Structure 1
Amino acid sequence: MLRAMRDNAASNEEAIASIQKALDIEIRVRNGAERLSQTYKDGPRNCLESARKQLWVAEAKIGFLRNQLARLKHAGSDDPTLPSLLPSNGVKITSPTSRQHLFPLEEEE
């Protein structure tokens, strides 16, 4: 039983680290999209719209990741919802190119 609790704690730590890494990446993406929006505010309209869309997607993903991070940090070791929060359940959140996993209805340009 103790070994299972240690494994669960290790999985929880790995999930927290993975989500934190993805969050850091998305914050950088958001900052870049904000800079692009400022750069193109007087430029081509399609570039400005694209930058705003990237900004919106990054902000939505940041909110999602922060929520997951908070849930994992507050989850107890015997919490039955913990396995559904871990990235090993098919949701790949560490790659910035995997936006379709979190936003499947987002149209590509």
Structure 2
Amino acid sequence: MSQPVTYRNNRIRWTLESLRFLEANYGTMNIADIALRLGRTPGAVGVMADKLGCRRKILPWTETEMDIIRQLYGSGVGAEFLQQLLPGHSVSAIFSMAEKMGVLSGRF
């Protein structure tokens, strides 16, 4: 039987520095990477992000980002590639915005 994973900050209070790091990086870094950096479980990072209100941050779409969707998504570029060009927006958010704008994928 394998040993359970232990985290260096398990059940230790969050420091102000850790909370600031979480707030600053939640939308741009993977949760697993944040958890590894802070020595916490991904679940603990998610719960604290909820408490801080980070998880519900909805980034407003800029006109430049919408132009990228119009031009690239409309010409058939995949959403995964677009996600690299549109940091902070998930694939489902990209699909949703394209649909809202009336942009059809050039793939279909």
Tell me the TM-score normalized by structure 2. 0.21
Tell me the TM-score normalized by structure 1. 0.20
Larger Cα Rg: Structure 1 or Structure 2? 2
